[in-house]
Structure formats: C-alpha cells, structure tokens
Amino acid sequence: MRMKLLSRPEEFVLLAVWRLQERAYSLPIRKQLTESTGYAWSLGSVYTPLERLEKKGLLTSWFTEATAARGGRPKRIYKLTPKGRQALLHTRRVEEAMWLGITGLALEG
Amino acid sequence: MSQQTHPPRWAAALLQWLVDDALHTPRGDFEEYFHEIAREGGVPRARWWYRAQVVRMVPGRLVAKLIWNLLMLKNHLLLAYRNLRKNKVAAAINVFGLSFAIGCTLVAYLYVQSMINNEASHENGDTIFLVQQQVREQGEQKEVGYTPIPMGPTLAAEFPQVVGAVRLKNGGGTVVQDGNEFHESIRFVDPGFLQMFTFPLQYGDPEQALTQPNTVVLSEGAAAKYFGEENPLGQTLLLKLAEAEAVPFTVTGVAAAYNPRTSLWFSVLLPFEHRPSPSDTDWSETTTATFIQVSSPRSLADVSTQMAPYVQLQNEAAGEEAPVVEQFTFGNLYELARHSDEVESTIAGHIPWAPVITLSVMALFLLVLSCVNYMNIALAAATRRLKEIGIRKVVGSNRGQLVVQFLTENVVLCVFALGVGFGVAYLFLVPAFTDIAGGAVNLWDTPLVALAVFLGCLLVGVGLFSGAYPALYISSFQPISILSNTQKLGRRNVFMQSLLTVQFVLAFITMIVCLGLVFNAQDEQSRDWGYNQAHTLVMQLPNPAMYDVMRNEVAQLPNITAVSGAQEHIGRSHTWIEPVIAGESMWARTFGVDAAYLETLGLRLKEGRFFDAEQVSIAADEVVINETFAQRQGWTEPLGQTLRIDSTTYAVIGVMEDFHYDGFTDDIAPVVFQLADVASHTFLALRVEAGAGTQTAEAVAAIGARLMPDETDWYFFQDTVFDGYFQETQGITDIFLFIAVLALLISCMGLFGLASQNTASRLKEVSIRKVLGATVAHVAALMNRRYALLLLLAAVLATPLSYLLLNALLDSIYVYRMGIGAGPFLLAYLLVFLTGLLTISTQLRFLALANPADLLRNE
C-alpha cells in the first residue's frame, strides 16, 4: 500500500497558496502560515516545500516585474495546478473520513 | 534616512555570493522582509535580523558550494586530460618548452640565492652586526668598514645587550716548513670567532681553540697542505710574522669544509694578540672589522642610539688630521654583501652582479618566450575546438565556466611542466651548472620554504600569464557565429600576430646576446696579451737555491735564445706596493725581475729603456712602469720622474705598453718593474726557438726529475697561464650556448605547432587550390608568407634591442671586450631562418603527397 497523501507542511503551504491567490509568493505565504498555525515559520522552511511541490507538479510559478522594495528583483508567484487541487481535496476527504464519528476525544485526556 | 534603510552591505554581498541562483527569490524576499521589519520594529532591528539570517546560512551553503566545486573540478580535470591526450603534439611542445624554461629559471634562482645569501651558513647571522663608521673626509661623506681597536671590548663591557664582540685583522705571514717558505694570508681574531660564526671544526674544540697564545686554527685546505691527511691537532707550525724569527704555533683546530663564499673565509686563524701592532686601548688604531652579537635583533636599537660618547672618544683620539667620524652604524651580517658597494674597505664580499643579472635576465626571457609560445599554440589549437565551445555555450555553460575549464587545462599542463622542469634541473641542469661554476657551491643548500614559495609563484605566474588570454579570448566567441561557421579565428587577429612577433623578438634577442658572449670568448682567445707569450717555457722553482742550480743546468741546453729570472712573474704572481709620488700614495703591482725579462717575455717598450744588464748596481734605483701608471699620474713626460717605495727613491727610465696579466675582466692596474736581487729569484723563463718547445720541455723535465724528484707541475709554457681564465670563460660560454639553442628550439617548435595547426584548418582551401592546378610551391608560399613576414619583422625589431643589451652586458662584465660585429646577428638570423624553413618543409611534404580527393571527401 502506498498512500498519495500530502505531508502536513505541504498541505498547509498549498492551502496558504490557494487562500492568497495572486498574492501568493514566499513572504505572504510565510506570514499566512505563521498566523494560522501559531508557529514561527522561517523563510527557509517555506522554500523547501514550495520547491518540492513545484517539482511534483502540484504548483506552478511565474515571475512578476521587478519592484523597488525587493531591491530591483521580481517576485515569484505560485498557483495551484489542477493536480494540486486534486491532491488537496483528496487529503481533505481522507482526513474527514478518519475523523468521522470520533467523539469524546477532548473530554477524556 | 535612505542611507540606513537598506540592508547591511557586507551581509547583502555575502548573501549574493552564497545564493547565486538565477531566480533571485531568496535575495528579493530577504530585502522585502527587511523593509517590513524596518517598518514595524525599526531599522536597527531589521538590520540585525538580516545579518543574523545571512550568517546562519553560511555553513550549509558553504558545504553545498564546496561539493559543487569539487564535482566541477573533477569534470574539468577529466576534460583537461582528454584534450591534452587528443592534442599530443601541441601538449608535448608546450611541456618541453615550459619545463626547460622552468628548469633554467630554477637554476638561475638557486644561483642568485647562493650568491646573494653568501653568509647563510652562519646560524646566528640575524643577531650579528658589523660595526661601521660614517666619516667625513674633505667634505665628502662615506661609510667605512674598519673600526677603532678598543671598540669591540668596550661595547661588550658597557652594554648588557651585546653578548659577544669579535675583532678581526687581516695580515700575512710566512709558514716555514722543511726549509721551504710559504706565504699565507692570516686572520687575527678574538677567541669568540668560532662561537659567533658557524665554522664547524673537523678537529678541535671551538670554545678552547684560540684562547691561548701561540695557537693556530687551520682551514681544511691549509691543514692538508702542511700536514697531509693525518690529524694535525697538537702539531707545531712554524710561522714568521713581523719578526724575522719563526715562532712555533700549536694547531688547536681544523675547520671542516665551509661555504667558500662567506666573507669570513680563512686559511690560517691566529689569536688577536699576535697582530702586528698590539695596542688595545688606542682609539686611533683601527682593525679590519669588529662584529658584535646582540641578544636579539631588536636590542640593536638600544646599542646604536647610545654610541655618541664613542664618536667623541674616537675623534679626540684620532686628532685633527684624520677624517671626522660622524656616527657608528651597524650592518647585519646577512645584508653585508648586498651593501658592500656602499661601504669602503669593508670585509664584506661582493656579489658578482654581472653574472647574477645576466643569468636572471636570460632565464626570464626564456620563461616569457615559452609562455608566449604556449599562448600561440593554445590559440591555434582552439580552432579545432570551436564546435565544442559553441555547443557548450548553447547548452548553458557561461563564460566563467569556460574560462575555468581552459585555465584548468592550462594549470594541469603547468604542474606537469613544473614537475618535469624540476626533474630536468635536478638531474641535469644543476649538476652541469655546478660543474661549470667551479663546483664549490652546493646550489641545493637553500632555504626550502623560500624555494617552495618561489616554485608556487612560478606555477601561478606561468599558469596565469600563459593561460589567461587564450581562456578569455576563446570563451568570448558567440555560439551562433561558431556554429554557422562564420567565426574566423586568428587569421586577422592582430594580437596573435603580435604575440608571434614578440616570441621571435625574444628568441632573436636571447640568441644574439648569447652568441655575442660566445663570440667575445672566441675573440679573447686570439687577443693580443701585450707581450709575446708563445715559445716561452717558465719554471717555478721551490726556492732561490734551486733557481741557481737550474739556471746553470739550462744554460747547457740548445735552441734557447734568452734566459731570465724573476721574483714575480706575469700571469702567476705579483705583489702590491704603495709608491709615493709627490707626497701622494697610490697602489701598484710590482714585478721584481732581471734585466733580460723584457726580451725573454717579448714585452714592448713604449719609450725609454729597460734595465741595463751591464750596470746592475746602478739600476737598483731605477724602475720601469706601464702606460696605465703614467696615465694615472698624468705624466706626459714620464721619463725621469721619481717615485718613492718604502724609503728608496726611484727614477722612471722606461714605459712599457700595457699588457694583460690576469684575464680581461678587470682594469689593468699600474705596474712597476723593479730589478730583483738574484737571491730572491724563483721563476726562470726561457725563450725557445720556434719548433723546439717540446724538445726543450723534455730536457727540462729530465733535469727536474734528477734534481728535485718530489716536485710536480713546476714548469709550464707561458701561453697556458690564462688557461684557468679561459676554462672559466668556456664554462660561461657553454651556459649561454645552451640557452641560445633552447630559445631556438622552443621558438621553432612553436612555429611548427602554429604552421601545422594552420595547415590543418585550411586543408579544404588547399585541396581546392590543388585541384584547380596550384603547384605545391605556390600553396606553400601562400601558407607561409605570413610567417616569413613576421620573422622578418621580428628580426628588424630585435636587432637594435639586442645590440643595446649585448653592449651593456659586455661593458658590465668585461673591461677589455670585443667590438660588436655583424657575426652574432648574422648567425642568429641564419639559424632561425634555416630552422624555420626546415620546420615548414615538413608541411610541404604533407601538402605534396596528400590527395585532394581524400581531403575533400569528408563531408
């Protein structure tokens, strides 16, 4: 058996990209992740999953024009591919199936 | 404000170096985030964050970079190996040229090192200083190497920093052994001499050797001369010093062989108290040299700043007449020879600048020549690699990577050449050179660290100099023009043409200068010595008694036209005297001879007369001088002038033409001929009739074998007295011939490489020309006209340059030299053009035999 599930960082990064839409490049992604998860994400910890997801074909990217705020360098904007959306939805379905009918977890502890 | 709102510069630069991805995102992100933090938390905090972030990245990125570079290096090395293997001829030419040039450079380096660091064998040299005086004499300031006698002991007593002081005085004496007398140079030294300077003793204890009076330390050579192979410790040596009586000295030490270039060389060392004028306290008395040893090189300053009282002491003692001492200076032992030209009467030896400079310049020329040769061949070989370069560029390699690749190939070749060059130097060049230079100096006795640094610099220098331009040039082509076959390489490239010209200019200069030196040496062989050296047999007899006996014996021999006796003899010995003329003294060489000397040696009288044999007693206060003496004195009427030697006044009765007594490198000194008492004659000269030389020599040898069977090498023909000088010159000539041949070989191999690359790249053109009816001669002329023109241009450029260089070199080495004729020039041109033709004719054969159909069919 071989699961085609996303890892948690991958899942979160994909979700952040989807949420940010055309503003989805490294810095806002990092900010979004930090705010949503409550953990401090470093820039490096964003680059790695972004790169890996693009290699898997779940993300595509393109460059915008250069901006002064970036010292004359362009932004790299990410977008989910159809395959990426499928993977995200698939992961969510599996997750929900796993959680289905589970109660009282919070009460016992 | 704006100045502070950008990230720290060094961190940004570091980031750029660490993250060299073409995508820019990390660097852009860092900068944007920086501005965000700056807005929220202030600029300082942002800057701090930026720095911390970059620094944290360093280790990981470094490892990644290193791994990449190693992978690329492996790739470059592999490519270099394959390319060199593919182009064997070019690689062989380059390795040959470079390695021999490197070998010669190495020899030059070792030689220069051994000449400049002549005191390196003295271990404590960095703390040993020669005390010198800066004096003012008749308004002129100069530095002198001698010092007041009490200086050494005073410094040692007064300054705790001075741990040792050694005085040294030069003198002479006569060793009396078995009734024979041998003149010896003697150095009188303080007992610390053998501890301060590094002269390991073969026999004896260096700490005790010179502490007692009447002891003597000998050099290895002197010990062998007087005591043979046995250990002479405790033996007695009879020495006549200033006194007429011989005094016994006990041998307490024998020095092992030492570097003969040290200025502290000696054959006989005696305790300082035996010197001729023993006053220990008189500040007006001077000694040849005073050395002090300080506790550390830095503590010298403590001593030199407190010398003022001694300056005063010295000036008061010396009185009004003597030159005024302005201050005492200190010269480090290791530096002495380098500054010996600036200090008068210094003990320090001189560096033979002429050969040092000549050899360095020639080695440098050879090195540049072989580097230029490498450049030419690398550029020509690139024509075969154009496609490779184009494709590499198309698939994404950038210019930097190509440059690194070509440089790696070059460095591989250079390392190889360095290895071969070192081997050649070790096995062949250094032994040969040592042999020629007299064999006394071990060239490998050199600081190893400095040698390693030199070799490293040589490798980097040669690698960059020869490789940088080809790498940059070749990597600059546009792939589109290469792959569409429109790139034309080198045909019209002015720089390449100039390189070839430079190469041949260097080759011409090297050859002409070397040949010029060889011609000069040839010229010396046939030069007039100023007298008739032929048909003269000279006997050097062990003592005057034997002279008398021998003179009577040879009087019986037939075929002898003149016989003369002498105390000193031209080419073998002389004595320096200090004649005084009108109160002024000068130095002159003197030869004590008899009245027949002029006729026997064939010396030429310029004016006046030689000594009269009939009137020996009257002639005792007459002298004959040479032209130089008269010129030095400014005498237009030298006859009848007078000069005083010791206490006797002599009248000049004749002037001789100048003659050479020592070779041609030094000025002819003023010479005085005096009549010498028969009781002091040891030289016996015979003028023999032409053709009777061998016969007379045999007769003389037979007499000698009967009268003094133990003597060897006691007679010679006068025309052999310069043999030693000529042998030395011959050695130098051999070196220069070798360099000239090497320059010729390297250049012609370079020419061959170029011509064959040129042919290879124009095969199609040549084939079509042949099909259309061009003759081999026509094609050959077409292909090589360019080279012929360049050679001609090089010859034209090199002629005046070589003339100037050769002239300067001859002037600096020889006082008496040849005028520069056309000989060296014509010979060099002829050699280069002939070998050039020969080189190119190898192509002719190929062009003549190749079938155009085969060459054209390949597409």
Structural domains in chain A plus CATH codes = 8-97 (1.10.10.10)
Q: How far A29 CA lies from chain B's nearest CA (Å)? A: 11
Query: What are the Cα distances from residue B843, in Å, to B184, B412, B784?
Result: 67, 30, 10
Q: How far A4 CA lies from chain B's nearest CA (Å)? A: 29
Residue contact B26–A47, C-beta within 8 A:
yes
Dist. CA A85–CA A94, nearest whole Å: 14
Residue contact B26–A43, C-beta within 8 A:
yes
- Please tell me whether residue B858 adopts helix, strand or coil conformation: coil
Q: Would you give the end-to-end CA distance of chain B in angstroms?
A: 69
Q: Which of B358, B351, B352, B261 is nearest to B733 (CA)?
A: B358
Q: Which of B333, B327, B363, B365 is nearest to B349 (CA)?
A: B333
Query: Which residues are paired to A78 by β-bridges?
Result: A61
Dihedral pair phi/psi, residue B538, rounded to 5°: -120, 135
Q: How many Å separate Cα B291 from the centre of its chain?
A: 28
Are B308 and B325 a contacting pair, CB within 8 Å?
Answer: no
Residue A97 is predicted with a pLDDT of 92
Q: Which of B552, B575, B530, B536 is nearest to B715 (CA)?
A: B536
pLDDT bin (cut points 50, 70, 90) of residue A83 is very high
**Residue B56: closest CA among chain A residues belongs to which residue?**
A44
User: Which amino acid is present at A40?
Assistant: A
The string of pLDDT tens digits covering residues A51-76 is 889 888 999 988 887 777 777 778 88
Residue B749 is predicted with a pLDDT of 78
Residue contact B28–A47, C-beta within 8 A:
no
Q: How far B395 CA lies from chain A's nearest CA (Å)? A: 22
Dist. CA B144–CA B135, nearest whole Å: 7
Dihedral pair phi/psi, residue B636, rounded to 5°: -90, -25
Chain A residues touching B35 at Cβ < 8 A:
69
Nearest to A74 among B24, B35, B36 (CB): B24
Q: How far A74 CA lies from chain B's nearest CA (Å)? A: 7
Chain A residues touching B40 at Cβ < 8 A:
none
Q: Kindly give the parts of chain B with pLDDT less than 70.
A: 1-4, 20-24, 179-181, 242-244, 277-278, 320-321, 352, 354, 383, 436-441, 485-493, 614-620, 855, 858-859
Chain B residues touching A43 at Cβ < 8 A:
26, 29-30, 33, 53
Residue contact A73–B36, C-beta within 8 A:
no
Chain A residues touching B30 at Cβ < 8 A:
43
Q: Which of B360, B436, B291, B336 is nearest to B116 (CA)?
A: B336
DSSP string, B612-643: -GGGHHHHTTEEEEEHHHHHHHT-SS-TT-EE
Residue A85 is predicted with a pLDDT of 92
Chain A residues touching B28 at Cβ < 8 A:
70-71, 73-75
Chain B residues touching A74 at Cβ < 8 A:
24, 28
Nearest to A26 among B6, B25, B36 (CB): B25
**How much of chain A, in percent, has pLDDT values that exceed 70?**
94
Query: What are the Cα distances from residue B529, in Å, to A91, B550, B631?
Result: 110, 28, 19
Residue B22 is predicted with a pLDDT of 55
Residue contact A69–B32, C-beta within 8 A:
yes
Could you tell me how many residues make up chain A?
A: 109
Dist. CA B121–CA B264, nearest whole Å: 11
Dist. CA B465–CA B62, nearest whole Å: 30
Dist. CA B774–CA B611, nearest whole Å: 83
Instruction: Pull the structure tokens for residue B401.
Output: 């990577």
Nearest to A69 among B25, B35, B53 (CB): B35
Residue contact B33–A73, C-beta within 8 A:
no
Residue contact B28–A73, C-beta within 8 A:
yes
Residue B243 is predicted with a pLDDT of 65
Are B801 and B509 a contacting pair, CB within 8 Å?
Answer: yes
Are B260 and B440 a contacting pair, CB within 8 Å?
Answer: yes
Instruction: Pull the structure tokens for residue B796.
Output: 């034209």
Q: How far A71 CA lies from chain B's nearest CA (Å)? A: 6
Residue A90 is predicted with a pLDDT of 92
Q: Among the residues of B228-322, which ranges form H helices?
A: 300-304, 308-318
Instruction: Pull the structure tokens for residue B561.
Output: 């036209």
Residue A17 is predicted with a pLDDT of 93
Residue contact B31–A71, C-beta within 8 A:
yes
Q: Is B486 exposed, middle or buried (0-12, 13-18, 19+ CB in 10 A)?
A: exposed
Give the Cα-Cα-Cα angle B40, B42, B47 (nearest 5 degrees): 115
Instruction: Pull the structure tokens for residue B579.
Output: 């004649």
Chain A residues touching B16 at Cβ < 8 A:
none
Torsion of CA A47, A48, A50, A54, to 10 degrees: 130
Chain B residues touching A64 at Cβ < 8 A:
none
Dist. CA B491–CA B471, nearest whole Å: 18
Chain B residues touching A25 at Cβ < 8 A:
25, 29
The b/e string for B372-403 (b: 16+ C-beta within 10 A; e otherwise) is bbbbbbbbbbbbbbbeebbebbeeeeeeebbb
**Residue B12: closest CA among chain A residues belongs to which residue?**
A71
Query: What are the Cα distances from residue B637, in Å, to B432, B608, B654, B658, B671?
Result: 53, 10, 11, 17, 17
Residue B2 is predicted with a pLDDT of 45
C-alpha gyration radius of chain B = 37
Chain A residues touching B31 at Cβ < 8 A:
69-71, 73
> How would you classify the pairing of strands B648-656 and B622-626?
parallel
Instruction: Pull the structure tokens for residue B694.
Output: 């061998």
**How much of chain B, in percent, has pLDDT values that exceed 90?**
1
Chain B residues touching A47 at Cβ < 8 A:
25-26
Whether the complex's predicted ipTM is more than 0.85 is answered with: no
Chain B residues touching A76 at Cβ < 8 A:
23, 25
Residue A18 is predicted with a pLDDT of 92
Residue B534 is predicted with a pLDDT of 81
Residue contact A70–B32, C-beta within 8 A:
yes
Nearest to B24 among A43, A47, A73 (CB): A73
Q: Would you give the end-to-end CA distance of chain A in angstroms?
A: 32
Residue contact A70–B29, C-beta within 8 A:
yes
**Residue B35: closest CA among chain A residues belongs to which residue?**
A69
**Residue A27: closest CA among chain B residues belongs to which residue?**
B29
Q: Which of A15, A70, A3, A71 is nearest to A46 (CA)?
A: A15
The b/e string for B547-563 (b: 16+ C-beta within 10 A; e otherwise) is bbebbebbeebebbebb
Query: Which residues are paired to B580 by β-bridges?
Result: B585, B644
**Residue B28: closest CA among chain A residues belongs to which residue?**
A70
Q: How far B108 CA lies from chain A's nearest CA (Å)? A: 56
Q: How far A58 CA lies from chain B's nearest CA (Å)? A: 19
Residue contact B26–A27, C-beta within 8 A:
no
Query: What are the Cα distances from residue B451, in Å, to B107, B314, B691?
Result: 11, 45, 56
